[in-house]
Structure 1
Amino acid sequence: MTAVRDVLVIGAGLAGTACAIQLARAGVRVDLVDRQADVSALGSGITLQGNALRALRELGVWEEVKEHGYAYDSLGLRAPDPSGTLVAEMTEIRSGGDDLPATAGMYRPELARILVDRAVEVGAGCRFGVTPRTLNQDAEGVEVELSDGSRRRYDLVIGADGVRSWTRQAVGIQVDTTPTGMGIWRAFVPRPESVTRTDLFYGGPSYIAGYCPTGPDTLYAYIVEKAQDRSGLGPQEGRAIMRDLAAAYHGPWDEIRGSLENAESVNYTWFETHVLPAPWNRGRVVVIGDAAHVCPPTLAQGGAQALEDALVLTELLLAADALDDRLWTAFAARRIPRASAVVEASLQLGRWLQDGVRGDVPGLMHDVMTLVRETP
């Protein structure tokens, strides 16, 4: 008998859907709810490192991800000069194993659709536009009331509901989520034929300008600047600022900049960070993914770490016959040191950029990829 038979997962992002898939296909009854109206609202572009691809293969969706995404094995570093000069080309470590690409880019709503479809296929119940209202637990279970008026008792509640996690607040877990001093402009645009991998431009008027192919015809482009209050800008003003910042970068950026026409595809957010100390649970409620640890996307490991949380948690739940301190201690031991190391490395790269320090970026990237190549 597994430790749980009836589970509520709050949040249909990577961590939440991964939990739903693994539990439902093992015969656990799973309800998956998300506050968004539908799966298409869940994000823009995403870069998936090899350890994320390894997790997606375990979930049974790698072939579909490969079909809809864009896989590659190298990383370019370019100069912010009039030609966008390629100064280094590195073969990336295949952190998911030699039989998987090093990296794949993906349109995030498409990835969300694939994962939700997989969750439904294996038996999870999924509801969008639904949020939790109340949560009360005792030693035997958790009583939850949802915004659609339904009320049910669960063996376990998994809060995979992001940086501002309702679940985390509901069980009284306190954490200081702090800005790192960087903000990022993102856009989803057509892919120039010359772009076949991620290239990063360090320096110029912004900290980083980069892009990641997300499919045969699409691209996720981004520019990282000093964090500013951009909350009062309209879509056209935001597009104009991103185009102005992009004017300092050339090579493929010349074509990318010319395609920044759809103002609705441009968005701006700040980088933030936190890592919860152990334990990540309070009784029969646990938080994972961005609710437990969040870092700037400077090393593109946020999605991978969320997926790893889900796979480790569900492995332990399905192998145990009780929700007890041994399970939660094992979960913390396998996840907190690894997630913390990735967060710290991501922050270190950001500090180097902000301080104008010429740090060993390739070395840092190599160390992280070597770490995450090991199964969690």
Structure 2
Amino acid sequence: MADSLTCPQPPAGGTPTVLVIGGGASGNAVTILLRRAGIAVDLIEAQPDWNATTGSGITLQGNALRVLRELGVWEQVSASGFAFGSLGVAAPDGTILFVAEDLQTGGDDLPATLGMQRPRLQQILIDAVRASGADVRLGTTVDTLEQDADGVSVRFSDGAQGRYDLVIAADGLNSATRAAVGITDRPEPTGMAIWRIAAPRPEGMDRTDLAYGGPAYIAGYCPTSENTIYAYVVEASRDRASIDPATYADEMRRLAQAYGGFWPEITKHIDNPAKVNYTWFHRHLVEGPWHRGRVVLVGDAAHCCPPTFAQGAAMSLEDASVLAELLTTRSDWDDRLFTDYHARRLPRVRMVVDASVQLGQWLLDGVRDADVPGLVGRTMNALKERP
């Protein structure tokens, strides 16, 4: 398999063809942007429901909102979510110790932070992909990829075949495409895990508050609409096989009931194990090239970080924006294009991954004099710059 292939734009009258594997944030975003430029895009997604019904909530900071505005969905996102501009730090009993103003990393004309229900964000992006005219096939995966000097031949799980100028691997943390093209980097657990649930919004909750200490490392919540929130509790990771999913609500409630403030009201709604999600934190960063020939990685396939900075979706959306910019402004889809994409993204992503992991490691190690404000300030100020 060649590592450097030239893929010039086709002659007048022709249209470049792209396959996007995975319909999460980065896959949906790059599809919308490429279709806007007139590029033919097929998008396949393994889940038959396109992940439109799963997940509790998501915290989006300004640099993520900037890309969502670029996609043309900001008005729907703004109307569906809950915007705020500060972060509270609390004691376990709910006493607010201090409130910090959030930096507006997307610019002064966008909120610093917006929480929203994850399924609602996914549906907004799905609608935009559908409206773009992309060819979408759900419940479909790739069986084989074969590259040559002129393109990529793909055989799909449903027996269909396709031929493409480029394949974009947006198939997530455990990307099968990444492995198929010989990129051997794999995600590694950091030692932490998170319990999450969606719940009604208590009256008066208008920002994220984080409580440190108690039986968990962090207990936090984020308003996601006028009526909803998502709440989360972070602890040391446990063997997932040893936790019966039927006990998920009991496990999360046991941790949550130790916290004051809004938590007693939230805890009343932790009663259905099917609505509680338990996930390990992972660190993942492909340091080497993010492409092999005509196959290129975006989003979690290339990198993933703990949600301690709430920047996972933002980094994935920025990948899509930068890659689409390069693909739609250059005449040659060659090795230099993908090398430039990697060079623009890697330092910024590495900064976020390392900082996110460091915040968690300080908690795991019980470091009490860690320079958390300094690390947060440096990182967030850097994210104000455009990717």
Q: Which interval holds the TM-score relative to the shorter structure?
A: over 0.9
Alignment match, 1:65 = 77
The 5 A counterparts of 1:203-282 are 203-282=213-292
Which residue of the partner structure matches residue 374 of structure 1?
385
Partner residue in 2 for 1:124 = 134
**Does 2:303 correspond to 1:296?**
no
8 A contact 2:293–2:335 mirrored in 1: no
CA distance in 1, matches of 2:157, 2:143: 6
Residue in 1 that maps onto 2:125 = 115
How far off its partner does 1:68 sit?
0.9
How far apart, CA to CA, are the structure 1 residues paired with 2:245 and 2:360? 27
SS of equivalent residue, structure 2 residue 128: helix
Work out which of the residue numbers 73, 87, 106 in structure 2 matches 1:75.
Answer: 87
Cα distance between partner residues in 1 of 2:92 and 2:267? 14
Of residues 148, 156, 173, the one that matches 2:183 is: 173
Q: What residue number does 1:85 align with? A: 95
For residue 48 of structure 1, what is the aligned residue in structure 2? 60
Residues 1:11 and 2:41 are matched in the alignment:
no
CA distance in 1, matches of 2:147, 2:19: 13
Measure, in 2, the Cα distance between the counterparts of 1:328 and 1:162: 19
Gaps of 5+ in 2: 1-7
Preserved CA contact (<8 Å) 1:278 1:336? no
Q: Give the partner amino acid of 2:19.
A: L
Identify which of 314, 333, 337 aligns with 1:327: 337
How many angstroms apart in 2 are the aligned matches of 1:287 and 1:42? 24
Q: Which string of whole-angstrom CA distances, capped at 9 and with x for unpartnered residues, describes residues 35-73 of structure 1?
A: 111132453311101100001000000100011111111
Structure 1 contact 2–318 (Cα < 8 Å) conserved? no
Structure 1 residues 189, 231: closer, same or farther in 2, change over 3 A?
Answer: farther
Q: Residue 24 of structure 1 aligns to which amino acid in structure 2?
A: R
Does the aligned pair in 1 maintain the 2:249–2:270 contact within 8 Å? yes
Alpha-carbon distance between aligned partners in 1 of 2:120 and 2:92, rounded to the nearest angstrom = 32
Scaled by the length of structure 2, what TM-score is found? 0.94
What SS does the corresponding residue of 1:341 show, helix, strand or coil? Answer: helix
Which of 26, 31, 34 aligns to 1:20? It is 31
Specify the SS of the correspondent of 2:190.
strand
1:156-171 pair list within 5 angstroms:
156-171=166-181
Report the secondary structure of 1:231's partner residue: helix
Q: CA deviation at 1:332?
A: 1.2
- Cα distance, 1:278 vs. partner? 2.7
Q: Does 1:35 align with 2:46?
A: yes
Which amino acid is the alignment partner of residue 204 of structure 2?
A: S
Corresponding letter in the other structure for 2:385: E
Q: Which residue of 1 aligns with 2:143?
A: 133
Q: Which amino acid aligns with 1:89?
A: V
| Structure 2 counterpart of 1:363 | 374
Mapped partners of 1:229, 1:41: distance in 2: 26
Q: Are the aligned partners of 1:194 and 1:252 in contact in 2 as well (CA < 8 Å)?
A: no
Contact (CA 8 Å) 2:250, 2:271: kept in 1 or not? no
Question: Structure 1: which 5+ runs fail to align?
Answer: none
Cα deviation 1:254-281 (Å, max 9, x = unaligned): 1101111222110111111111013100
Change (3 A) 1:262 1:42: closer
**Cα distance in 2 between the residues matched to 1:98 and 1:220:** 26
The amino acid that maps onto 1:60 is G
In the alignment, the residues of structure 1 paired with residue 302 and residue 317 of structure 2 have an alpha-carbon distance, to the nearest angstrom, of 13
RMSD: 1.3
**Deviation per residue, 1:218-246 (Å, 9 max, x gap):** 11110010000133434441100100101
| Whole-Å separation in 2 of the counterparts to 1:45 and 1:132 | 29
Conserved 8 A contact 2:103-2:381: yes
SS at match of 1:251: coil
The residue identity in structure 2 corresponding to 1:334 is: R
Q: Supply the AA of the counterpart residue of 2:67.
A: A
Q: TM-score, normalised by structure 1?
A: 0.97
Deviates more, 1:25-34 or 1:42-51: 42-51
What corresponds to 2:5 in structure 1? none
Paired residues of 1:43 and 1:108 also in contact (CA < 8 A): yes
DSSP-derived class of the 2:337 partner: helix
Q: How many residues align?
A: 374
Q: Which digits, 9 at most, give the CA deviation of each residue in 1:306-364, with x for residues without a partner?
A: 00000000100111111212212211111000000000000110111001112222322
CA contact (8 A) 1:209 1:222 kept: yes
In 2, the alpha carbon distance for the partners of 1:325 and 1:263 equals 48
